[in-house]
Structure 1
Amino acid sequence: MDLRSGKAFWPIQNGLIRPYPPLQEHQTTDVVVLGGGITGALVAWHLTRAGIDCVVLDRRDVAFGSTSASTAILQYEIDTPLTQLSRLLGEEHAARAYLLCLKAIRDIETLCHELGEDVGFQPKHSLYFASKPADVRGLQREHALRRKHGIQVDFWDEEEISRHFPFRKSAALYSQTAAEVDPYRLCHALLKAATKKGLRVFDRTEAQSWDTDDSGVTVRTDRGFDIRASKMVFATGYEAQSLLRQKVVRLRNSYALVSEPVTEFTGWHEKALIWETARPYLYARTTQDGRIMMGGEDETFRTLPIRERRIPGKQARLEEKFRDLFPEIPLETAFAWAGTFGETRDGLAYIGEHPDFPKAYFALGYGGNGITYSLLAAQMIRDMILKGHHPDWDVFRFDR
């Protein structure tokens, strides 16, 4: 599957940070992770750090799939509001998902400090504004329910918003906990740290099939070499749907751009992350080197040639929306691209076991906060392998 089109920013800015070899001999390990993007890297780092021998396999270059197209906005907020998620799954289940994502942002910050490398992590606040006046009542209910469960968030009316930003919206939620990161650098930093502890990484090698028995799994590759492991982890993102009989994700095309460096962010209060109640939603962030990164304009999944042709028009729409919000900030697009994006029925990730895949775990961080979900998947899978349980294992299960 072609996961992105156009000129994604992160690989261009960073280049090929570190190459990895293709698989050239049979391997034996405790866990084989399929997928060398940010999800696979987080899983491998957590497993290796816990003393679990691990091999990562990717059919592309490391971090060149969805990771390279990610805009890497880190939020505890799920694409499905807490009020709506409570109606779908029950308030206790929904609140637990939100609180886990809140903790995950703090855990990612700690992890980035432990790596000791600059991966572009920056703590941020987040503005979630009403796209239309009819959305105000929903934001009021959302604010009350989040506060009930101990989440620090402020409700801003139109006047409060206009005191901080150059645009007027009927209402907004201003959250204290959010962040942004360079996912490409983070992915490479995680793999680098893990390889120092024994992780083996092989890219440009495709897993073509796998067989399981009582003692484990054998992964067969397109290069004629096998990997024997006790467990396997599918960290293959949107491509995982092709393996599952169960429909778990609806694929979409999402569009993004990044600007040339900006010297003055006039009116952009605290350079907060920005998104809205409309679906699909517009979102915007800044980068460590002073650029504007924004995305949205999601649409039904289309094949590569069609998606390529639509990038210029989508770029123009994003630019127009940004100028409506921040008329005094000059926006000159440097790169624009499209990526595959997936939505689940309830906005939650799928993490855990599946009855059709013995000896395997899935780490599928679908939704707008995929990196946050990937961190949770890594922690949960580590604990399941080491301890046989995790207290929140049921939150993201396939049969929820």
Structure 2
Amino acid sequence: MNRLPGTSGSHWMRTAAIPAHPPLTEDTDADVAVIGAGIAGLSTAWELSRAGRRVIVLEAGRVAAGVTGHTTGKLTALHTTVYDGLRSSHGPDAARLYAESQMDALRHVAEVATELGVDCELEPRPALTYCEDPEGVDALRAEAEAAKSAGLDASFVTETDLPYPVAGAVRVEGQAQFHPLKYLRALAADLVARGGRIHEHARVTSLDREERCRLTTSSGVTVTAESVVVATHHPVFDRGMLAARLTQHRDLVVAGPLPSGQDPQGMYITTEDGKRSVRTAPYGDGRLLIVTGEVFAPGTEGDTEGRYTRLAEWTRERFGVTVTHRWAAQDNAATDTVPLIGPLHHDDHRVFVASGFAGWGMAGGVLAGRLLSGLITAPDAPAAWADLYDPRRPGSVLRSAPAVAKAQWDVGKHFVKDRLDTVVGGDVARTVDDIEPGEGAVLRVDGKPCAVHRDEAGNLHPLSAVCTHLGCLVSFNPAERTWECPCHGSRYDTDGEVLQGPALQPLERYDPEDLTR
């Protein structure tokens, strides 16, 4: 087993503790129930509370401890090479509306931070998408032109402040970076001060759409509300088959201290080398370099430790930085590029969703809050870009049909192949004795696929390997010691508890003695 670089733990979560909120212990009601307390959920709840609605936020774990707590904290409208693609597939108006809505979110973060008087380390920075391979230059020239036509302050450049040469880059001015948890800590506090309610460890397991929406939590407590917002990363309670239009990806993150004089003074990203994303943050008397990359689909990577090592080596070679911390983030992307923000169901305007941010959820989450609040409080006067993000948008399924087909092929492949592997002796079919401390594997026990982890003390933790979402088999991520579903990205800890949806129920626990009979 490789030695992992640095200490595990998100920089944001280590430096901005958010006060605990009580669990939900009795039935209640509200005007709007928001499921999920990441940036999209809290932004939506805060906007609705400011508009005079009675709001309750239900979070399965801790506030902002999911995707939001593991982001890189970039606030930018430049999303690698989105504008040239949008212009081609959706038209120039769509590209313009996309840019306008993203910039509106950036400005709104600055306005809210000022209003609440919060120091969330908001720093203006240009955003750059670059390439080192000259063959990528033409695509970046086209992206710069498309971004400029969409209304951004964009240009093509060949010089940057990175400590290594590039072949070319799209540079967009007027962007920013921040500390997302310091921002959300203030937002949550103000939401509660306005009468909003936040409940942690309140996983919602069912949603019934009757005269009013009725939500039930894993503890059996119910909430009734006129409207519901599903801001759970992956849209649970998905009757609109949005899951077929979303692909999952997991990014590794490493960080280490950098002298202030070596700060590259920007936010950088390239799709080369399995993606590399770079920014810095205030850190004592200097800066903290944060590098993201080594993208893979959850549940499909058997050498996560090797990926961390490659990312750490790249960081050391390019910046001379020794990695001190590491974490990982997970997000999903809509198959037609544009996030899904709006009504979850075709036949019901009471349940809304925010998903598919493709790694750009900081501005996207704030955008979702403003858009969904408007759709709920003033449905007859939607924002100019409401149609662009509407999950029911015309032509979306047709435009994304090839990507949808590929995603569903991958799901079907895992559903069948992983089961065959446990039967005919593929890579995952090992014996219990082969599992070293800290490792995990899927075995066949009494005819059933069993996910077995051996902890550092040598104790076995056997679980059903069948994901409780749609029945695919999970696989073990040794770097994070989690079980992950390759079909839709559900993640579980070694005791089977859900860490990340769309799964709502834990993996079934088995008796360790069954493994030794």
TM-score above 0.5, yes or no: yes
| Distance in 2 (alpha carbons) for counterparts of 1:142 and 1:339 | 26
Instruction: Measure how far apart 1:8 and its partner are.
Output: 2.3
Instruction: Measure how far apart 1:244 and its partner are.
Output: 5.2
Residue 270 (structure 2) pairs with residue 288 (structure 1):
no
Instruction: Measure how far apart 1:79 and its partner are.
Output: 4.3
| Distance in 2 (alpha carbons) for counterparts of 1:252 and 1:142 | 23
- Given that 2:80 and 2:269 are in contact with CA atoms closer than 8 Å, whether structure 1 keeps it comes out as no
Residue 374 (structure 2) pairs with residue 364 (structure 1):
no
Per-residue CA deviation, residues 154-188 of structure 1 (Å, 9 max, x unaligned), is 2212xx34xx4432111112211221122222222
Corresponding letter in the other structure for 1:130: C
Q: 2:248 aligns with which of 230, 251, 255?
A: 251
Residue 294 (structure 2) pairs with residue 297 (structure 1):
yes
Q: 1:319 aligns with which of 309, 312, 316?
A: 312
Corresponding letter in the other structure for 1:338: A
Residue 233 of structure 2 aligns with which residue? Answer: 237
Corresponding letter in the other structure for 2:186: A
| Distance in 1 (alpha carbons) for counterparts of 2:237 and 2:170 | 34
Residue 379 of structure 1 aligns with which residue? Answer: 370
Percent of residue pairs bearing the same amino acid type: 23
Instruction: Measure how far apart 1:375 and its partner are.
Output: 1.1
Q: 1:174 aligns with which of 134, 153, 171?
A: 171
- Given that 1:238 and 1:340 are in contact with CA atoms closer than 8 Å, whether structure 2 keeps it comes out as no
Residue 184 (structure 2) pairs with residue 187 (structure 1):
yes
- Given that 2:38 and 2:66 are in contact with CA atoms closer than 8 Å, whether structure 1 keeps it comes out as yes
| Distance in 1 (alpha carbons) for counterparts of 2:152 and 2:65 | 35
Instruction: Measure how far apart 1:380 and its partner are.
Output: 1.1
The structure-2 alpha-carbon separation of the partners of 1:242 and 1:296, relative to structure 1 and needing over 3 Å to count, comes to farther
Q: 1:263 aligns with which of 249, 252, 259?
A: 259
Secondary structure of 2:15's aligned partner? helix
Per-residue CA deviation, residues 243-288 of structure 1 (Å, 9 max, x unaligned), is 65231211112100121x333442x44x211112438421011112
Per-residue CA deviation, residues 127-152 of structure 1 (Å, 9 max, x unaligned), is 22124111111111222222233321
| Distance in 2 (alpha carbons) for counterparts of 1:177 and 1:313 | 36
- Given that 2:345 and 2:351 are in contact with CA atoms closer than 8 Å, whether structure 1 keeps it comes out as no
- Given that 2:132 and 2:165 are in contact with CA atoms closer than 8 Å, whether structure 1 keeps it comes out as no
Residue 336 of structure 1 aligns with which residue? Answer: 326
- Given that 2:251 and 2:328 are in contact with CA atoms closer than 8 Å, whether structure 1 keeps it comes out as yes
Corresponding letter in the other structure for 1:232: V
Instruction: Measure how far apart 1:96 and its partner are.
Output: 1.2
Root-mean-square deviation (CA, aligned residues, Å) is: 2.2
Q: Within 5 Å, which residues of 2 pair with 1:64-143?
A: 64-143=65-144
| Unaligned 5+ runs, structure 1 | none
Query: Larger RCO: Structure 1 or Structure 2 (Cα < 8 Å, ≥ 6 residues apart)?
Result: 1
The structure-2 alpha-carbon separation of the partners of 1:396 and 1:101, relative to structure 1 and needing over 3 Å to count, comes to same
- Given that 1:241 and 1:249 are in contact with CA atoms closer than 8 Å, whether structure 2 keeps it comes out as no
Instruction: Measure how far apart 1:22 and its partner are.
Output: 0.4
Instruction: Measure how far apart 1:372 and its partner are.
Output: 0.9
- Given that 2:30 and 2:225 are in contact with CA atoms closer than 8 Å, whether structure 1 keeps it comes out as yes
Residue 198 of structure 1 aligns with which residue? Answer: 195
Per-residue CA deviation, residues 103-148 of structure 1 (Å, 9 max, x unaligned), is 2111111112212122222221122212411111111122222223
| Distance in 2 (alpha carbons) for counterparts of 1:279 and 1:99 | 31
Residue 386 (structure 2) pairs with residue 393 (structure 1):
yes
Per-residue CA deviation, residues 198-238 of structure 1 (Å, 9 max, x unaligned), is 00111111111121223x21111122221111000001013
Corresponding letter in the other structure for 2:42: A
Per-residue CA deviation, residues 341-370 of structure 1 (Å, 9 max, x unaligned), is 212223321100132673201122521211
Aligned residues: 380
Instruction: Measure how far apart 1:13 and its partner are.
Output: 2.6
Q: 1:9 aligns with which of 6, 11, 24?
A: 11
Structure number with bigger Rg: 2
| Distance in 2 (alpha carbons) for counterparts of 1:47 and 1:245 | 27
Corresponding letter in the other structure for 1:177: G
Instruction: Measure how far apart 1:339 and its partner are.
Output: 2.4
Residue 208 (structure 2) pairs with residue 211 (structure 1):
yes
Secondary structure of 1:173's aligned partner? strand
| Distance in 1 (alpha carbons) for counterparts of 2:132 and 2:290 | 20
Per-residue CA deviation, residues 33-69 of structure 1 (Å, 9 max, x unaligned), is 0001121111111111111110000110111211221
TM-score when normalising by structure 1: 0.89
Secondary structure of 1:52's aligned partner? coil
Instruction: Measure how far apart 1:196 and its partner are.
Output: 0.3
- Given that 1:210 and 1:217 are in contact with CA atoms closer than 8 Å, whether structure 2 keeps it comes out as yes
- Given that 1:79 and 1:368 are in contact with CA atoms closer than 8 Å, whether structure 2 keeps it comes out as no
- Given that 2:99 and 2:151 are in contact with CA atoms closer than 8 Å, whether structure 1 keeps it comes out as no
- Given that 1:59 and 1:204 are in contact with CA atoms closer than 8 Å, whether structure 2 keeps it comes out as yes
Secondary structure of 2:157's aligned partner? strand
- Given that 1:73 and 1:181 are in contact with CA atoms closer than 8 Å, whether structure 2 keeps it comes out as yes
| Distance in 2 (alpha carbons) for counterparts of 1:245 and 1:142 | 32
Secondary structure of 1:374's aligned partner? helix
| Distance in 1 (alpha carbons) for counterparts of 2:25 and 2:139 | 56
TM-score when normalising by structure 2: 0.69
The structure-2 alpha-carbon separation of the partners of 1:165 and 1:335, relative to structure 1 and needing over 3 Å to count, comes to closer
Residue 50 of structure 2 aligns with which residue? Answer: 49
The structure-2 alpha-carbon separation of the partners of 1:347 and 1:141, relative to structure 1 and needing over 3 Å to count, comes to same
- Deviates most, 225-234 or 173-182: 173-182
- Given that 1:365 and 1:371 are in contact with CA atoms closer than 8 Å, whether structure 2 keeps it comes out as no
Q: Within 5 Å, which residues of 2 pair with 1:20-59?
A: 20-59=21-60
- Deviates most, 315-324 or 390-399: 315-324
| Distance in 2 (alpha carbons) for counterparts of 1:235 and 1:373 | 12
| Distance in 2 (alpha carbons) for counterparts of 1:322 and 1:346 | 32
Residue 256 (structure 2) pairs with residue 272 (structure 1):
no
| Distance in 2 (alpha carbons) for counterparts of 1:97 and 1:61 | 31
The structure-2 alpha-carbon separation of the partners of 1:52 and 1:251, relative to structure 1 and needing over 3 Å to count, comes to same
Secondary structure of 1:354's aligned partner? strand
Instruction: Measure how far apart 1:373 and its partner are.
Output: 1.1
- Deviates most, 80-89 or 37-46: 80-89
| Distance in 1 (alpha carbons) for counterparts of 2:63 and 2:151 | 38
